[in-house]
Structure 1
Amino acid sequence: MDAFGDLFRGLRAQGSLFGNTILSPPWALHFVDGAPLTLCTVLGGSGWIVPENRPPELLRAGETVIVRGPEPFTFVDEVGTRAEPIECGEHCATPDQGGTRYRLGWNDSTCGDPGDGATTLIVGAYPVRGEISRRLLDALPVVLRVASGGGTDAVLDHLAAEVAADTPGQQVVLDRLLDWMLVCAVREYFDRPGGEPPAWYAAQRDPVVGDALRLLHAEPAAPWKVSSLADRTGVSRSTLAKRFAHFVAEPPLTYLTRWRMTLAADLLVEREGATVAEVARAVGYTDAFAFSVAFKRIRGVSPSGFRRPGTVVPEQPVGPPLRPPGAVPAAVPVVGARS
């Protein structure tokens, strides 16, 4: 795992959050469940994604769009369509649930021959759990569009073959293919010519800062100092500090503190039986009081207050996520030379 891969921890397509739709015009699907992330891929035909208060996006065969919630959006055959919108949420999938041709993870054979001009749409809606996964939302625009012809094409081929089948385990395969598509689509968006990816994403390509980030993700609870991090990356303290600040826009230990607090926030919620002192030790603090002071400074609320139901937590600045404690450290090669 790296800073980018960690963003997807906890993001998984799950059964009822998958839909395969075969549509003949006129048609309009209105997605109303407010999913934090919804991935739409057109296998054949075309249509328009119409977000609220934003320009429509044409989606052709082989193209993918990711829509960031919670605002609803519509997928239509043409802008201004005369079709009556069908509301599609994560449970709106079969006729008895209010849907028509919106199905859960299998090919809709009841539609018969859809005729010329039919559009096949694959949809995966993703819940976002915890502070780590939430940072993926912070790094994305409301509508992210990826054209065909890139790394997503291989996934599309597998998706097309799988939705045409009716075999045991199909739902599991489709879910994992959607996860693969999500990662590929976001990566292509960040790597597009003229793009402006988040600073932490670009920083991973630097041989010095990239290694430093991988070390911090692999061993977040280690007693890091700038000197020890520089030793592990094979450069001087001054070189590491300068390059890290240039690419990440903050010093290494400031980044580490925010990173630890992000991990601690999830641990406080996920491990209800753990004491604040135990969470503190899990993220590298031997002193629970020092941890609480740092947590409140970064998160705007005490650890106990954060864990309390109903607590309103202030918005946090965008930053890379942590690995879970106890993760097996990745092997990081020593690169560069001392200067």
Structure 2
Amino acid sequence: MDALTDLLRGVRADGALFHRTTLTAPWSLRFADGAALTLCTMAHGDGWIIPSDGAPLPLRHGDTAVILGPKPFRVVDELPDSDGPCQTPHTRSTDGLDAAGDPAPAGPATLIVGAYRAGADVGRRLPDALPPVLTVPGDEACDAVLDYLAAEVAAHGTDRQIVLDRLLDWLLACTLHAWFSRPEAHLPAWYHALGDPVVGTVLRAVHAEPARHWTVATMAAEAAVSRAAFARRFTALVGEPPSTYLTTWRMALAAELLATPELTIAAVARRVGYTDPFAFSTAFTRVRGITPSAYRAGHRDSAPEPRCQEAATGEQACDRTCPATVP
């Protein structure tokens, strides 16, 4: 058991959407598609990430940024100048033609964007463990992943979606692996608790056997300490009581299992420790804010095609549908 595995539990791209855009200055892209999670890689050139809230962050050549949704954000070549005029950026789509259908000159910046579509379930543990925007320098990311991703996004043909989905998951895992090794990363409290001889023993056991009949008493017995001592120690180190952690973890597993159509809701309930499907449904609804049936139905629904909008850095808005969306 490790932090990254737990945080990415159930996070799986399904119909991920990609943009590969080559731009010449001045340029600015505004993303307002409500994606749950977006990754931006500056394949060539430099730019800036401007979130809805917070200070801009530089995005240099090779850097990858992870942006939590659903609020809009912008990627620009230079920070906005409120006195500047509104100019139309020149972009080149993946087929080498600009918006008018004419050959477009190669630009100094190429941005690759992958998004977990609006409505995608990225869990609750992952957003709670990340800042609204984070960036990982190019020399710390996965070069092999980025090279292969760039080639796949630019390619044409059938049966590409499953490849792009898994590449986005791979890039996310690589980027977060690099991020968690950085000093500014704030690891969850339960991750540090893994090193505790008492609480860590129970966390590993609960994760290995989620369907086991766990109570605070059985957890304490697993750690060979008294019930009261275990409850105090667990809450102090993890930041929540053992029963709350257990339920949240089980519901995270259940959300992943509900995406498997061959499993009935009763079967999912049994796999996460509930013999009564109604008790499971009540717990799932309380934790996730939606019934298991509604969650499963929503997971099958396709979200609308996302939009990235071009906008210049002046006070006026020059928003248009991004021409670089990969079909």
TM-score band by shorter chain is 0.5 to 0.7
Give the corresponding residue for 2:249.
259
Shift of 1:245: 2.7
* Contact 2:35-2:119 within 8 A present in 1 as well: no
Distance (Å, rounded) in 1 between the aligned partners of 2:288 and 2:35: 27
Match of 1:212 in 2: 202
Cα separation, 2, equivalents of 1:216 and 1:49: 39
TM-aligned CA distance change 1:294 to 1:121, over 3 Å: closer
Q: What is residue 61 of structure 2 aligned with on the other side?
A: 61
Structure 1 counterpart of 2:92? 101
Shift of the 237–191 alpha-carbon distance from structure 1 to 2, 3 Å rule, reads farther
The equivalent of 1:46 in structure 2 is: 46
Amino acid at match of 1:283: V
Match of 1:223 in 2: 213
Q: Structure 1: which 5+ residue stretches go unaligned?
A: 87-99, 311-339
Match of 1:250 in 2: 240
Post-superposition shift, 1:123? 0.8
Contact preservation (8 Å) 1:280, 1:288: yes
**Taking structure 1 as reference, are residues 157 and 203 closer, same or farther at Cα in structure 2, changes over 3 Å only?**
farther
1:84 maps to 2:103: no
- Aligned pairs (5 A) from 1:136-147: 136-147=126-137
Alpha carbons 1:28, 1:83 under 8 Å: kept: no
Alignment check: 8 A CA contact 1:292 1:303 kept: yes
Asked if residue 25 in structure 1 is aligned to residue 15 in structure 2, the reply is no
Q: 1:185-334 alignment to 2 at 5 Å?
A: 185-206=175-196, 208-226=198-216, 228-229=218-219, 235-237=224-226, 241=231, 243-263=233-253, 274=264, 280-287=269-276, 298-299=286-287
Instruction: Single out whichever of 137-146 and 70-79 deviates more from structure 2.
Output: 137-146
Counterpart code for 2:29: L
Q: Which amino acid aligns with 2:129?
A: A
Q: Which residue of 2 aligns with 1:71?
A: 71
Structure 1 position 40, deviation (Å): 0.3
Q: Which moved more, 1:167-176 or 1:195-204?
A: 167-176
3-state SS in 1 of match to 2:140: coil
Encode CA deviations 1:90-128: one digit per residue, 9 max, x unaligned. xxxxxxxxxx5344xxxx54566525xx01211101137
- Could you say if the C-alpha distance between residues 272 and 193 of structure 1 is closer, same or farther in structure 2, counting changes exceeding 3 Å? same
Contact 1:67/1:144 (<8 A) preserved: yes
Alpha-carbon separation, structure 2, partners of 1:4 and 1:248: 16
Report the Cα offset of residue 177 of structure 1. Answer: 3.5
Query: 1:148/1:302 Cα in 2 relative to 1: closer, same or farther (>3 Å)?
Result: closer
Cα gap change, 1:188 to 1:307, in 2 (>3 Å): closer
Contact 2:40 2:112 in 1 (8 A): yes
Write the letter of the residue equivalent to 1:122.
I
Deviates more, 1:278-287 or 1:156-165: 156-165
Whether the aligned pair in 2 keeps the contact of 1:41 and 1:121 (CA below 8 Å) is: yes
Maintained 8 Å contact 2:216/2:242: yes
The residue aligned with 1:317 is none
SS for the counterpart of 1:124 is strand
Instruction: State the TM-score, normalizing by the size of structure 2.
Output: 0.67
1:8-63 Cα deviation digits (max 9, x unpaired):
34534456612222222121222121111110011221011222243222210121
Aligned to 1:179, what secondary structure does the other structure show? helix
CA contact (8 A) 1:13 1:124 kept: no
SS at the partner of 2:123?
A: helix
Deviations 1:182-235 (A, max 9, x none): 1122233333214322223333454654443232223211112456545656x5
How many residues are aligned here?
288
CA contact under 8 A between 1:30 and 1:72: conserved in structure 2?
yes
Partner in structure 2 of residue 126 of structure 1: 116
Of structures 1 and 2, the one scoring higher in RCO (CA 8 A, sep 6+) is 2
User: Which letter maps to 1:214?
Assistant: R
- Picking from 99, 106, 109, the partner of 1:114 is 106
The code of the aligned residue for 1:114 comes to A
Q: How does the TM-score come out when normalised to structure 1?
A: 0.65
In 1, distance between residues paired with 2:283 and 2:274? 10
Supply the distance in 2 between the matched residues of 1:295 and 1:169 (Cα, whole angstroms).
34
Unaligned ranges ≥5, structure 2? 98-102, 299-327
Task: Give CA-to-partner distance per residue, 1:131-168, whole Å, 9 cap, x none.
Answer: 66344233322212222332444544554676688899
Residue 248 (structure 1) shift: 0.9
The 8 Å contact of residues 3 and 213 in structure 1, kept in 2 or not, is answered as no
